A and B are shown apart, each in its own frame.
Chain A
Amino acid sequence: MRKIFIPALFALALTGCGDSAPEKSAASEAGNSDQAGSAVLTGKVRLDGSSTVFPISEAIAEEFGAVAPKVRVTVGVSGTGGGFKKFINQETDISDASRPIKDSEHDKATAAGVDFIELPVAYDGISVVLNLENDWVDHLTVEELNKIWAPDSTVTTWKDVRDGWPDEPIRLYGPGTDSGTFDYFTGVINGKEQASRGDFTASEDDNVLVQGISGDKYSLGYFGFAYYIENQDKLRAAPIEGPNGIVSPTEVTINDGTYAPLSRPIFIYVNVAALDKPEVAAFIDFYLETAPKIASEVGYIPMPESVYDGAKNRVKNRITGSAYNKGATLERLVTH
């Protein structure tokens, strides 16, 4: 498989991906006039950051290796916050982030002379998951989630959440406090990032959460959509009542934004100075071209076409800074 696949992509890249190419592969979709040049590019592209974004960046780095084999792309996993630290230190060219950059991080970047472009690459829908034997929860409201997860929560049994539910202790599972998922969930549900009750089983490894929840009838937990999709036979996702009514997380509801408020965009941030290097520029072009296809392959939801067009526009016109921040919408990002 590998031996046929990669030379084929390579050949497509070399020939500049003519219209006559019979099959549209990831590489040929990215085909533009730069492609023929990619094969001779050299140098390094350094990425680091969120473990949530890692599968997408890794997959794109892998595909990019087929069209630009001499460019050394590396992807690290330091978490969103850890990634930004390295990004501000100029140890990386691109930072993976599962939340928008914080004001404090933005200030530090400015102080260090790091200008960046913010690019949304996909959606993730944080899924609230239950044990398969849990037959009493038909849906959960945002208020109920807040009641469960608030820092001063008094909920100890399912009955405390809603009358009529079993008088059994509720056992909670969630991601660790360094995770962007934790930041986003607590921000949306509890109104303040990092504000959460502490007596839950926390793990940075989502597989541990899957194990815990699938083995415990009275459990409740939350993590990224990709892990829910892979484990649908072991868990079920609770429909969430938000501004658009009661909605379950699916590819459709996350993509069109009806799965609210737990849908979140995930980003890459690129250093503008690094973008002057042709290998970084080629990689970013390739990233934005292939992101829709790759994102769905690795369990994320592609954004609407217009958002990617907006992102390409930001790169082309070097529009720096963070647009998606403090409740701003993706539309704002597109029109910028």
Chain B
Amino acid sequence: MTLANDNPANQQAAAAARLKRRHLVSWAFEKACLTLTLSAVVVLGILLWQVFSDGIHWLDLQFLQSFPSRFVEKAGVKSALYGTLWLVSLTALISLPIGVLGAIYLEEYAPTSRLTRIIEINIANLAGVPSIVYGILGLAIFVRFMGLERSVLAGAMTMSLLILPVIVISAKEAIRAVPSSIRLAAFAVGATQWQVVRAHVLPEALPGILTGVILALSRAIGETAPLIMIGALTYVAFIPEGPMDEFTALPIQIFNWTSRPQAEFHELAAAGIIVLLAVLLTMNAVAVYIRYRGTRR
């Protein structure tokens, strides 16, 4: 080695070889990342293709406007679709204020004490609790103890518990991302804490908060386990007219159809999945739009 290093030509060649190897490693790493990313997309693509090829020909207005039926050609997702919309709206109404206000308190008001830290750690832990556990909690507290029975309200409250930690965490992130110079500037001209939060922090953090909220609600939309636990029903041939009405939801209807012996119902389940995906994508599109508007301003 020492001999080679003495020779400038050799040194140059060695450097070139090293450089080439580094480029190669860099190239290989990039391609490896690309392959892994693509493989995830390919799996999604295969899933989508399968669902669409099975279900798309069942998807029509009649499917959206009919109640469940034992006859494939008459069956539809009306009650499940409306149930899901009710569930998501109520969940948003309950979880949004609690989650956002909680995040504002923790970020803007709470003293850096032991208690605050314990609360924050617990919220982070709650985000990892399996959804069925929230279902059991919902059954015991909302359905039985509070006597809400199997209502949309009980379902929405259970779902709110499930997604609250996610909302609090993402709202906290969004609030923390607001530069402290903005706060300090406002304080400098004599604004109170309330004025700072209302006029500066919240508007600035809103796109981030709403994106987090909608992603959390998207999770709620696909959850089945807690709903089954609190006793959401499988056959419902009416639309909920108030928060105390019984309901079913899309994932439950899909699950029911897949467990039937007749193969046609499995295709119907695929059509139901497409409807669920459509609702989900619409919500995500709203999130993207809000973020876009927020950043453009």
Contact = CB atoms under 8 A, between A and B. Distances in A.
A226 B70 CA distance: 14
Contact of B246 (A1, A72, A297, A298): A72
Nearest to B256: A77
B284 interface: no
Nearest to B263: A230
Given A1-B73, A91-B149, A62 B237 contact: yes
A210 B73 CA distance: 24
Interface string A70-100: 0011111110000000100001000000000
B262 interface: yes
A331 B106 CA distance: 70
B235 A74 contact: yes
A154 interface: no
Nearest to B144: A89
Contact of B231 (A65, A91, A227, A231): A91
Contacts of B74: 1-2, 5
A226 B67 CA distance: 23
Contact of A75 (B235, B238, B259): B235
B61 to A, nearest CB: 12
A55 B130 CA distance: 30
A75 B73 contact: no
A290 B236 CA distance: 20
B70 A76 contact: no
B231 A48 contact: yes
Contact of B259 (A76, A206, A299): A206
Nearest to B73: A1
Please tell me the size bucket of the interface on A: 35 or more
Interface string B231-262: 11111111000000010000000001011111
B69 interface: yes
A170 to B, nearest CB: 25
A327 to B, nearest CB: 30
B231 A86 contact: yes
Please classify the interface of chain B as helix (H, G, I), strand (E, B), loop, or mixed, using the class held by over half of its residues.
Answer: loop
Given A2-B62, A48-B231, A75-B234, A206 B70 contact: no
Instruction: Kindly name the residue among A59, A74, A227, A297 whose own CB sees the greatest number of chain B CB atoms within 10 A.
Output: A74
B119 to A, nearest CB: 35
A121 to B, nearest CB: 15
Contacts of A298: 70
A2 B63 CA distance: 11
A70 B236 CA distance: 13
B50 to A, nearest CB: 15
Nearest to A58: B235
A45 to B, nearest CB: 11
B261 A76 contact: no
28 contacts: A48-B233, A54-B234, A55-B70, A57-B235, A58-B234, A61-B235, A61-B237, A62-B67, A62-B70, A62-B237, A72-B237, A73-B235, A74-B235, A76-B150, A76-B231, A76-B232, A76-B233, A76-B234, A76-B235, A77-B234, A78-B231, A91-B150, A91-B231, A206-B259, A206-B261, A210-B261, A227-B261, A297-B70
Interface of A: 1-2, 5, 44, 46, 48, 51, 54-55, 57-59, 61-62, 65, 72-78, 86, 91, 205-207, 210, 226-227, 229-231, 297-299
Those 4 A-B pairs whose CB atoms lie nearest each other, nearest first: A75-B235, A230-B261, A59-B70, A76-B233
Interface of B: 62, 66-71, 73-74, 149-150, 231-238, 246, 256, 258-263, 266
Given A62-B237, A206-B259, 10 more contacts: A2-B74, A5-B74, A62-B70, A72-B237, A74-B235, A91-B150, A205-B258, A205-B259, A206-B261, A230-B261
